[in-house]
A = this chain, B = another copy of it.
Amino acid sequence: MEAARKPRNATREENLAVILHHAEKIFAEFGFKGATMQAIADAAGLPKANLHYYFPTKLALYREVIERIFTIWLEAADSFDTSATPEEALSRYIRKKMEISRAHPCGSKVWANEVIQGAPIIQDYLQTTLNEWTDTRIKVINRWIAEEKIDTVDPRHLLYMIWATTQHYADFQHQIVTLNSGNPLSDSQWENATDSVTGVILRGIGLKP
C-alpha cells in the first residue's frame, strides 16, 4: 500500500517483506489480540522498536497484512469470469482458490479469524468490494440458470459452498493434517482434494466435470 521512497535502498523493501511475512504467521496463530509485537519481532529477527519504525501501531501492521490477503483473494476472483462456460469458470475458480489455500494458509486464517471476530477491521471491505463482487457473480450464475446451462440453485449459497470448502483446507489445515496421520497433504492428495471438491460441486448443479 505504501510506496517505497528510496528504491535504491532495498533494505526497506526487505524488512517490510520480512515483517509482513512473519506478522501474517503470528496473527494467524494467535488472532489480533493474541499476537504480540514482541513475538512478531522475535520471529522476524528484529528488535521490537524496529517494528514500530515501519508500522506505527500493531493495528497498522495488522491492517496491512489483511489488505494483502484481500488483494490475493480478489485476483482469484478474476479467474471466475474470464471463462466461457460454467464448467470452466467454476472449476478454474475452485482450483485457484484451492491453490491459494495451499500457498497462503496463514493469510486465509487471518481472514477467518477476523471474520469470526465480527470483522472489526475489514467491515468496509465486506460491505463494498466483496458485496459488489458477490452481486455480479450472482447475476452470472442466474444467467446460467436462465439459459439452462446449470440446474436451479441459489447462487448465493453456491458461492458460500465454494468459499467454505476451499478455505476449509487452509483454515482447518491442522485438523486435516491430524486426520491424515499427522502428515501434510502431498501433491497428489491436494490434486485429489481439488478434484473431489470440484466434482461434487459441479455434479451438484448438473454439470459434468
Listed in ascending order, the chain A residues whose CB lies under 8 Å from chain B are 28-34, 109, 112-113, 115-119, 123, 126-127, 130-131, 134, 151, 153-154, 156-158, 160-161, 163-165, 167-169, 171-172, 174-176, 178-179, 192-193, 196-197, 199-206
Contact = CB atoms under 8 A, between A and B. Distances in A.
Given A112-B112, A158-B196, A199-B153, A117 B164 contact: no
A126 B204 contact: no
A127 B181 CA distance: 9
Given A130-B179, A160-B176, 4 more contacts: A153-B199, A160-B172, A161-B200, A203-B206
Q: Is the interface of A mostly helix, strand, loop or mixed?
A: helix
A176 B41 CA distance: 35
A205 B126 CA distance: 33
Contacts of A176: 160
Nearest to A155: B196
A28 B115 CA distance: 11
Nearest to A29: B117
A31 B26 CA distance: 14
Ranked nearest first, the 8 interchain pairs of A and B with the lowest CB-CB distance are: A33-B34, A200-B204, A164-B168, A204-B204, A157-B196, A31-B31, A164-B164, A126-B178
Contacts of A123: 178
Given A34-B34, A196-B158, A200-B205, A168 B178 contact: no
Contacts of A196: 153-154, 157-158, 161
A166 to B, nearest CB: 8
A123 to B, nearest CB: 7
| Residue from A116, A130, A201 having most chain B Cβ neighbours under 10 A | A116
A164 B171 CA distance: 10
A179 B154 CA distance: 14
A26 to B, nearest CB: 11
